[in-house]
């Protein structure tokens, strides 16, 4: 069976174990290989106008970056036995990412959550750019309560539909959690009903929030408090349908505010889970 491909876009200057651990955990679930890609602006390295001096500085920096990436990924390989290939380049960040996505054709892209007020590799609207460029799954990892390879998930799903609960877009992940799955609905209606039912031998518990200006913060606090470490959102339903309860801007706010790992999935998931 052909393996899926996970592309990790990482800022080597702001490395953390969580983004690779999340990627390894996902790779084990969806049977995937992992590629790490890093882009560095030439202006961060070269200050001299002399061409030969500039080339020498870039070569020195290349060796430094190469060692840093190896030091980053080798402990993960030694602990979990998942091979991670890598590459990096110098140039315009968006252009380099665009070219790499076209060449790599990943099934999933993983990005670390941008730190507040930080200007780094995943800053400058890179997340928005990847959302537009990549039609597959997108994982945005958080430092809080990361996924742990070889351990069960604590899963939450977001439903944009007012009336019904749907977990089909997260179906492939259900076997990897033994705990109850929380299905979140955000409703404009005053009268709301919550229910608990069984799906694929899993207990699905509904949780309904009022739609108001604090709803994203309330949702984020609930996810953290209940130690949910993977929050699935159907990107087709939520992002493309601008008239739905959750439109594109709502999803952007969730990406910025929610402090757990988010997986933007697809209703008709093409992955071999």
Note the pLDDT of residue 9: 93
Closest-CA residue to 130 (of 235, 271, 18, 269): 235
The neighbouring-strand residues paired with 59 are none
- Cβ neighbourhood burial of 93 (10 Å; 0-12, 13-18, 19+): buried
Token representation of residue 58: 């870039």
- Structural domains in the chain? 4-141 (3.40.50.620), 155-265 (3.40.50)
Note the pLDDT of residue 195: 80
State the 10-residue block means of pLDDT for the chain, 273 residues long: 87 79 91 92 70 76 90 90 90 91 93 62 67 88 84 87 70 84 81 75 87 88 92 71 54 84 73 52
Note the pLDDT of residue 237: 61
Predicted model pTM: 0.86
């Amino acid at each position: 069976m052909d393996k899926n491909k996970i592309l990790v876009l990482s800022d080597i200057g702001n490395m953390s174990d969580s983004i690779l651990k999340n990627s390894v955990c996902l790779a084990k679930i969806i049977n995937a290989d992992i590629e790490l890609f890093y882009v560095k602006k030439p202006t961060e390295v070269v200050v001299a106008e002399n061409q030969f001096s500039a080339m020498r500085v870039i070569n020195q920096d290349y060796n430094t970056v190469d060692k840093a990436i190896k030091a980053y990924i080798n402990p993960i390989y030694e602990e979990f036995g998942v091979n991670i290939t890598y590459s990096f380049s110098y140039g315009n960040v968006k252009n380099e990412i665009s070219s790499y996505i076209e060449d790599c054709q990943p099934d999933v892209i993983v990005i670390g959550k941008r730190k507040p007020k930080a200007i780094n590799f995943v800053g400058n609207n890179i997340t928005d750019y990847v959302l537009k460029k990549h039609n597959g799954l997108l994982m945005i990892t958080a430092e809080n309560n990361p996924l742990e390879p070889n351990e069960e998930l604590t899963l939450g799903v977001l439903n944009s539909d007012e009336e019904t609960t749907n977990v089909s877009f997260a179906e492939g992940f259900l076997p990897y959690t033994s705990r109850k799955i929380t299905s979140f609905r955000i409703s404009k209606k005053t009268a709301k009903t919550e229910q608990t039912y069984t799906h694929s031998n899993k207990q699905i518990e509904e949780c309904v929030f009022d739609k108001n200006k604090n709803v994203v913060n309330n949702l984020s606090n609930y996810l953290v408090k209940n130690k949910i470490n993977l929050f699935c959102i159907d990107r087709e339903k939520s992002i493309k349908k601008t008239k739905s309860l959750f439109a594109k801007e709502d999803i952007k706010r969730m990406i910025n505010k929610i402090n757990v790992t988010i997986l933007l999935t697809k209703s008709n998931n093409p992955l071999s889970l």
